Chain A
Amino acid sequence: MIGLFFVLIGRLYQLQILDYQKYNPLSKKNSIRREYVSPARGLIYDRNGNLLVDNEPIYTITITPAKYDTNNNALLARLLNVKTSDLRNKITEAENYSWHRKSRLYTEVDFGIFSRIQENIWRLPGIGHLIESKRHYPTPAKAAHLLGYLREVSQKTYLDSDHYQLGDKVGKSGLEQIYENYLRGKQGTSYKLVNAFGQELGPYDNGNLDKAPLQGSDLYTTLDTDLQIFAEKLMKNKRGSIVALNPQNGAILAMVSSPEYKLSKLAGRLDHKYWAKINADTTSPLFNRAIAAQEPPGSTIKPLMALIGLHLGVITPKTVINNPGYFYLGRRYGDHAEPGKYDLVKAIAHSSNTYFFTVMYKIARNGLFNKWHDLASDFGLGHLDYVDLPGERKGILPDSSYFNNRFGVRKWSIGDIINLGIGQGVMSVTPLQMALVSAEIANNGYKVQPHIVRAIKKSDGTFLSTDPVKKKISWVTQKDIDVVKKGMREVAVEGTARWYANVKNIKIAGKTGTAQNPRGRDDAWFISFAPYKNPKIALAVLVENAGYGSQSAVPISTLMIEKYLTGKVQRKWLLKKMINFNPADTTGTDE
């Protein structure tokens, strides 16, 4: 008997003294629950300090399967107003994730349901709640491709990073993705005393161990909300994109890729039907055309061709080239411009192909093809421009090694090169790149960094400025720029864009273009800037399958300029016409 008592005391010694280190944490773990406190995600403002994106609370019902009694299914389903079978599936899902950990059962339940669950929480062990937030978009601007949406963190990201809990949202496109690390903030932790039923009894150790979450940083963007809304309105029911930027610093004022999608439908609980719909849509609304559509620039390349030609000395402003109606090199290359003699300004204004075929021919003949590539590259073509959006594409700006790779050494000829002179052939650009070209001509040859976020406000109130510097493109001379700009101004005054670009009180300069589209009707381009003397806005507009740039891209651009520079639109009739504009209603193509 004494022996057995010593066994008892021995066991006591083993449990309390030897294994104390094992059981003490166990009892703590039992009664202390560590919870992650999600930080408020950073806000996004436009250039005037108006909110573009903020957060609104959503109520989520959670479940800890180990503590949940499945006999309560019927009651819970009734409170949640869902089918019992649906609830059972959700519970199984939660069980598969973790038996002991809290998982989200129903997110974004309405406040009435949330309150009803709270009233009955005492007879629903294992059921809890989270008050989370979802993104909210206070303005009528869609800006879907700019702002981007959030999705639940993937299993892989969750495992690879210690910033996330399963079910956390992470930016998957737009600014939300690029600035994820800033917007996210830092998770806090709180320790709660819980009893055996999992009921929370308040903070543990008076919250001394708790760490408050660090709120995400706010983004201050360069976007002009009114202009963005206006641009979206103009692009309604059309495919294509608008990129508007400040030519002085590369700040993006508005950017539209149409068709768009609604961010609010992707916030919070995912609307699966909507998600499936926009994914299956053949017009690819999720695709950001403004930075990823790669099209031949068409005649919009001509101002840049002129600058390069002047720099390389193959032409002067006074060079006059006769246009017989075609350019001949082994065969006839067509020219839509009126036959006659063209100097540089006139060649730009009326988009003479012969003139620029000649320029390109001389470049190639003088062995300056690769030089041409480098100079064009200086304006931002053929490589990424690192705008702060995901999915940017670099387009194609060929040089001899590109042709060698693509066609094989000596398998290509001067004929392949001269097409580049009018922006056709093996060459492609994005609307953003063309907007940059326009801006860099407008600002007299300064390279600017395209950007949307100009400052980041950290949670401690300090600002992180992201304003990028602009740099002179060394080979561009003011004399050359002036001639080219004059040509672009003439486009609006008496050239290809004269019908809609000759706006009273605003001097607009620009260049039309047509991108040959192998899949359908040609796409219409217009690059522009205004005011002519001191440019405040530079644009590139691409309307897919619209054929005539002068009837689609030009009016859209000039309405944008009018709206931005004067705050209102005088030409209401034109606005109405453009909103209702359908590319299929027009015919033909211009240069």
Chain B
Amino acid sequence: MNNWYKNFDWILVLCWIALTLIGLAAIYSATQGPVSQFLPSYIQENFFKQLLWVAISIVILIIVQFTAPRTFQQGSYLFYAFCILLMISTLLFGVEINGARSWISIAGVRFQVSEIMKIGTILAVSNYLTSRRNISAEKLSSALIAVGIILLPTGLTLLQNDTGTALVLLSLIPVMLFWSGLPRGISLFIISPAIIGYFAVIQWYWGILAVLIVSIAVFLIQKRTWLTLTSLIFGIIIVAGVHIALYQVLEPHQRARIEAFTNPSFDPHGAGWNVIQAKTAIGSGGLTGKGFMKGTQTQLRFLPEQWTDFIYCVIGEEFGFIGASIVIIIFLIMLMRLLNVAGSHNHPFAQLVIVGIASIFFVHILINIGSAMGLLPVIGIPLPFISYGGSAFMSNTFMLAIALNMELYHRDFSIFV
């Protein structure tokens, strides 16, 4: 391993360092700033806990670099099984926080098992889809098994009442299948429910429009009448389903939560409160922001969960458009770099793993920032590397470390070797 530093992906590491530092600054402001007087001490401590997790994560990052990439492939099923067992035991013995029973307490340290479940799932699916030549997403049976590998932990997270993570896991299905050969049209068809559902929540006619556009796109890409028709019918069923769910099935307060992001003033002191305060925080930041620890929305405790789910509002308010867009650009660089690495890698397992990792990051970033700016319903998942949360930070670093490892050993880890 000569000249390892030349093979080491410094861009990803720099992105990681930058995001971590921004995250620490934001958590500091959100828990140690003037706002701390309104926070209970266990929340004020979050900053120091996060420092500890960052330190642990650095160690993990380094250790992972001394591991042979093949180990991840060979150990993937075992790790997956281990994670599934952990998930089940969490369901049985876990600790409930904010209504989600997704935490397990080991020696006094709480850990969110679903975070490493993501890694286990990515590794297992990647391994499965690249293990034999005759397994491919183009084959229905293989595709279904791959989907099954993802759906099992998804179901468990749903049982843990952790919708956010379940959604993130689900997003792996189209990405992984697409990368391993599923036709584009079908991939689009798979993700279409999310797109159509999103627009259908805003207004039913937007949903219908989305159905038409998706169906036309599917037809243009795949040129298969039955797929297009299925897509069309399926799409309309989704729009109708969403409409019925909103107005018939859901209780008014549940509907209010979903509608909060399309129309926050619908219920300004209930479900809409968070959205209004989040948008106000970001909007009032202006170009340059109000300054570190000077955001009134942040420091006067107008933001909910400002150290995790709404941390982006802290950045937007205190560092303004400049700071907030820099964060998005760093994320973009990181994701582009990951996809670039994936695309140039010689080993399909590595490719799939990195794509899976990128996909997980992407969904987190999109949902977290999107809901902070009132574009998406508030689902409540952390912003990678920035939000407070030890298990999430560690798992995310672990995932990045795996990607770095694959890149570092890309000459040694190849189907040609």
New contact pairs (13) apart from A28-B296, A30-B302, CB-CB < 8 Å: A2-B332, A2-B336, A4-B366, A5-B332, A16-B316, A23-B280, A24-B283, A24-B284, A26-B284, A28-B284, A30-B297, A195-B301, A196-B302
Verify if B69 is at the interface (C-beta below 8 Å from A).
Answer: no
Residues of A within 8 A of B38 (CB): 195-197, 199
Q: How far is the CA of A12 from the CA of B279 in the complex (A)?
A: 10
Q: Are A8 and B328 in contact (CB-based, < 8 A)?
A: yes
Closest partner residue, chain A, to B38 (CB atom): A195
The digit string for A1-33, where 1 denotes a CB below 8 A from any CB of B, is: 110110111011101110110111011101100
- Interface of A, secondary structure class, is helix
Q: Are A16 and B301 in contact (CB-based, < 8 A)?
A: no
Q: Are A23 and B282 in contact (CB-based, < 8 A)?
A: yes
Q: Which of A200-243 contact B (CB under 8 A)?
A: 201
Q: Are B296 and A30 in contact (CB-based, < 8 A)?
A: yes
Name the distance in Å between B303's Cβ and chain A's nearest Cβ.
8
Name the distance in Å between A166's Cβ and chain B's nearest Cβ.
22
Q: Are B366 and A8 in contact (CB-based, < 8 A)?
A: yes
Q: Are B284 and A27 in contact (CB-based, < 8 A)?
A: yes
Residues of A within 8 A of B325 (CB): 9, 12-13
Q: How far is the CA of A26 from the CA of B283 in the complex (A)?
A: 9
Binds A, one of B91-99, B104-112, B369-377: B369-377
Q: Are A27 and B281 in contact (CB-based, < 8 A)?
A: yes
Closest partner residue, chain B, to A23 (CB atom): B283
Contacts A1-B335, A5-B331, A9-B325 given; indicate if A27 touches B296 (C-beta within 8 A). yes
A193 contacts which of B277, B282, B300 (Cβ < 8 Å)? B300
* Nearest 3 interchain pairs by C-beta: A23-B283, A27-B284, A195-B300
Q: How far is the CA of A201 from the CA of B280 in the complex (A)?
A: 20
Q: Are A12 and B373 in contact (CB-based, < 8 A)?
A: yes
Interface residues of A (CB under 8 A from B): 1-2, 4-5, 7-9, 11-13, 15-17, 19-20, 22-24, 26-28, 30-31, 66, 193-197, 199, 201
Q: How far is the CA of A22 from the CA of B328 in the complex (A)?
A: 23
Residues of B within 8 A of A20 (CB): 283-284, 286-287
B375 contacts which of A11, A17, A28, A201 (Cβ < 8 Å)? A11
Q: Are A31 and B370 in contact (CB-based, < 8 A)?
A: no
Q: How far is the CA of A1 from the CA of B370 in the complex (A)?
A: 14
Verify if B324 is at the interface (C-beta below 8 Å from A).
Answer: yes
Contacts A13-B321, A194-B300 given; indicate if A5 touches B283 (C-beta within 8 A). no
Residues of A within 8 A of B283 (CB): 15-16, 19-20, 22-24, 26-27
Closest partner residue, chain B, to A19 (CB atom): B283
Q: How far is the CA of A20 from the CA of B290 in the complex (A)?
A: 12
Q: Are B296 and A31 in contact (CB-based, < 8 A)?
A: yes
Q: How far is the CA of A57 from the CA of B331 in the complex (A)?
A: 60
A9 contacts which of B287, B302, B317, B328 (Cβ < 8 Å)? B328
Verify if B6 is at the interface (C-beta below 8 Å from A).
Answer: no
Residues of B within 8 A of A196 (CB): 38, 277, 300-302
Q: How far is the CA of A241 from the CA of B146 in the complex (A)?
A: 103
A26 contacts which of B280, B316, B331 (Cβ < 8 Å)? B280
Q: Are B286 and A17 in contact (CB-based, < 8 A)?
A: yes
Name the distance in Å between A96's Cβ and chain B's nearest Cβ.
17
Verify if B269 is at the interface (C-beta below 8 Å from A).
Answer: yes
Verify if B409 is at the interface (C-beta below 8 Å from A).
Answer: no
The digit string for B267-292, where 1 denotes a CB below 8 A from any CB of A, is: 00100000001011111111100000
B287 contacts which of A16, A23, A27 (Cβ < 8 Å)? A16
Closest partner residue, chain A, to B331 (CB atom): A5
Q: How far is the CA of A20 from the CA of B369 in the complex (A)?
A: 18
Q: How far is the CA of A24 from the CA of B328 in the complex (A)?
A: 22
Q: Are B328 and A5 in contact (CB-based, < 8 A)?
A: yes
Q: Are B296 and A15 in contact (CB-based, < 8 A)?
A: no
Q: How far is the CA of A11 from the CA of B329 in the complex (A)?
A: 14
Verify if B128 is at the interface (C-beta below 8 Å from A).
Answer: no
Residues of A within 8 A of B369 (CB): 8
A17 contacts which of B277, B287, B317 (Cβ < 8 Å)? B287
Q: Are B284 and A23 in contact (CB-based, < 8 A)?
A: yes
Residues of B within 8 A of A17 (CB): 286-287, 321
Verify if B320 is at the interface (C-beta below 8 Å from A).
Answer: yes
Residues of A within 8 A of B282 (CB): 12, 15-16, 23
Residues of A within 8 A of B331 (CB): 5
> Can you identify 23 A-B contacts, CB atoms within 8 angstroms?
A5-B331, A8-B369, A8-B370, A8-B375, A12-B324, A15-B316, A16-B283, A16-B287, A16-B324, A17-B287, A20-B286, A23-B280, A23-B283, A24-B283, A27-B283, A27-B297, A27-B317, A30-B297, A66-B269, A194-B300, A195-B38, A196-B38, A197-B301
